[in-house]
Structure 1
Amino acid sequence: MHGRSDGSNVKKLGMPFLAALAIAALSASAAAGAWVQSRYSRPASLSVAQERVINNQVSRDSAYIRENVNLLAQTVGELQAKLIAMGGLSKRVADVAGISYTDPEIKASLDHAQPVMDYINDGPGDSMSAEGLGRQLDLMQQQIDEQKDWFAMLDLVLTKRAGTEARLPTLMPVNYPYLSSSFGWRLNPVTGRRSMHEGLDFAAPKGAPIYAASGGVVSEAGVQAGYGKMVEINHGNGLVTRYAHASVLDVKAGDLVEKGQMIARVGSSGRSTGSHLHFEVRMAGHPLDPKLFLAKPEVSRHLVADASSHVKAILPEVR
């Protein structure tokens, strides 16, 4: 009875003992592995010569980067100065062109434009950081965009102004500047009553060329009551010119004519008392004094003397 009990007890005590022994063995193995790894996995140390070579290379790379950053910063500063000069130039051009800075179409552009802030250090030994260069380049890009917008706006304004001026009837319609009747109230030579004369009468011989005072589209070309053979040119925006009492018409309705192009010849058709050109300028149907538009003719004395022999006997009055 005691023999069985002792054997059973030995078995019961043997299992925990074996487990504890196995755990101890695993712990010893792990400790040994850690010791071996720490012993043989140490990073290889650099020699003094190797460290010197690496330090020299790092120094050279740093100096190269600093030098290039400084050169780039200097270039950025030069470009910034040019941008500021361009801004001043654009304003001077606008001033010479007579464009007021308060014009609605450009005021917003001028108000929005701001000078670029200068982040470049001027002190000796100072250099631009990469972050500062990035900010500077962003601001320069913004300034360039503003300059492009401003120049585009200036070009648009000048183009519109040039187009408007090009439409104005500034060219003398005949080479005979002698006026037989001016714009305004007068005694009508046909009716003998006081009436409004809505144009200028240029005394000229029959057959003398009549030129378009400005470019445009011929809106009428034919016989009109009172005007006789007449050409009307539409210059856009409600501005038209009329050339009346012609003897011959050289254009027809719908034709596109250029400034200075011959459109007819002087005559005395319609209600007229002699050979001459009746020239009108109208805006939205209202008559304007053509002398407000016509450039002062540059005629030599010799030409005036020659023309006077043709116009002395003409002296027409119209309508």
Structure 2
Amino acid sequence: MSNLPTLVSLDVRQAEKDRLELESQMLKASLHELGEKVGQLQARLIEMDGVSKRLAEVAGVNYTNPEVQETLNGSTVVSDDKAQAMVFDSAEALGRELDTMAQRLDRQRDGLAMLDMVMTRRAGLEASLPSLSPVDFPYMTSSYGWRRHPISGRNKMHEGLDFAAPHGAPIHAASGGMVVFAGYRTGYGKTVEIQHSHNLVTVYAHASSLQVKRGDLVEKGQLIANVGSTGQSTGPHLHFEVRVAGQPLDPSLFLPDPNEPEVRLADASDDLQADSAEVR
């Protein structure tokens, strides 16, 4: 009977040992399962890094994250069956890895926020450029550059584009902005000038009538005048200029390719007569 307490004590200890071993096995199994999930999350992080890098390249933004450069030499898409499970010997090691992943996610968030800001600014810049054809008639009678003046016969710099169009045809703002001049100007006839952002000014000359006045805010595509032949002109047409800080630029740098279809472009062949109108 004297050995009974000892046997009971041994049984209790063995039971406690078995319980601890079982808990240890369960903890290891849980850590292994979590390690697999962490491996899958890391694969997703690498994939997202790749998406961020491709977006940056498309947007023309330098992507200099060294971690991404190191991990994205090949394909950036990692499938679940190829994601390697990570082995953790303790919950503390798992916690450290989760902290590292959280920091990486923060960097991704900051990088995507930067990319969003750059693309938003770029979209705003593009929206402010005079990229809309000011008339529905793409037939150009005179391009930008040196030419013989149709009236004086002298060689002179032609600082815009001439679009032949019927008398009274609508003239639209090539971009949104503020009207800084609307009236008669020597040589140009009835003219509208619109101030856009980034020191850009567009000029619409030889109109028959004006639909805006100085100080008006206009939107891209808004009717601002009608085609005419006022000023030094040989026939109905629009003389269109783009100026930056007062210096003329070739408007064709901003306008869409006339060979590509555009929603607002129309066939002017029936309206254009034998004579071709040219600007001053």
TM-score (norm 1): 0.71
Q: Which residue of 1 aligns with 2:170?
A: 209
Q: CA deviation at 1:201?
A: 0.9
Q: Mark the CA change 1:266 to 1:121 in structure 2 (over 3 Å): closer, same or farther.
A: closer
1:38-96 deviation per Cα after TM superposition (whole angstroms, max 9, x unaligned): xxxxxx9864444344334333433333333222222222111111111112112223x
Code of the aligned partner of 1:87:
D
* Distance change (3 Å), C-alpha of 1:122 and 1:47: same
Larger Rg: 1
Amino acid at match of 2:49: G
Choose which of 60, 72, 88 in structure 2 pairs with 1:99: 60
Letter in 1 for 2:24: S
For the structure 1 residues 93 and 114, does the alpha-carbon distance in structure 2 shift closer, same or farther, using more than 3 Å as the test?
A: closer
Change in CA separation of 1:144 and 1:222 when aligned onto 2, cut-off 3 Å: same
What is the Cα-based RMSD across aligned positions, in Å? 2.9
Corresponding residue for 2:99? Answer: 138
Do residues 191 (structure 1) and 152 (structure 2) align? Answer: yes
Give the one of 139, 143, 167 matched to 1:182: 143
Question: How much has 1:127 moved relative to structure 2?
Answer: 3.8
Report matched runs for 1:25-174 at 5 Å.
47-95=9-57, 97=58, 99=60, 101=62, 106-107=63-64, 110-111=65-66, 127-174=88-135
Structure number having the greater helix percentage? 1
Alpha-carbon offset, residue 98 of structure 1 = 5.1
Q: Which moved more, 1:218-227 or 1:192-201?
A: 218-227
Pair 1:161–1:59, CA change in 2 (3 A): same
1:242 correspondence with 2:190:
no
Asked whether the equivalents of residues 121 and 128 of structure 1 are also in contact (C-alpha less than 8 Å), the reply is no
Change (3 A) 1:121 1:204: closer
| Cα deviation digits, residues 123-155 of structure 1 (max 9, x gap) | 9xx544223212212211221111112212222
Residue 112 of structure 1: how far off its partner (Å): 7.2
Moved more, 232-241 or 185-194: 185-194
Q: Distance in 1 between matches of 2:205 and 2:136?
A: 16
Tell me which of the two structures has the higher relative contact order, counting C-alpha pairs closer than 8 angstroms and 6 or more residues apart: 2
CA distance in 2, matches of 1:314, 1:264: 23
Name stretches of at least 5 consecutive residues in structure 1 with no aligned partner. Answer: 1-43
> Cα deviations across residues 150-170 of structure 1 (Å, max 9, x unaligned)?
212222222222222222222
Confirm or deny: 8 A CA contact 1:247 1:264 kept in the other structure: yes
Q: TM-score, normalised by structure 2?
A: 0.80
What one-letter code is carried by the residue in structure 2 that aligns with 1:88?
G
5+ residue gaps in structure 2? Answer: 72-82
Query: C-alpha distance in 2, partners of 1:254/1:55?
Result: 89
1:259-286 Cα shifts (integer Å, max 9, x gaps): 2222211112233232111100112211
Tell me the matched-pair count.
260
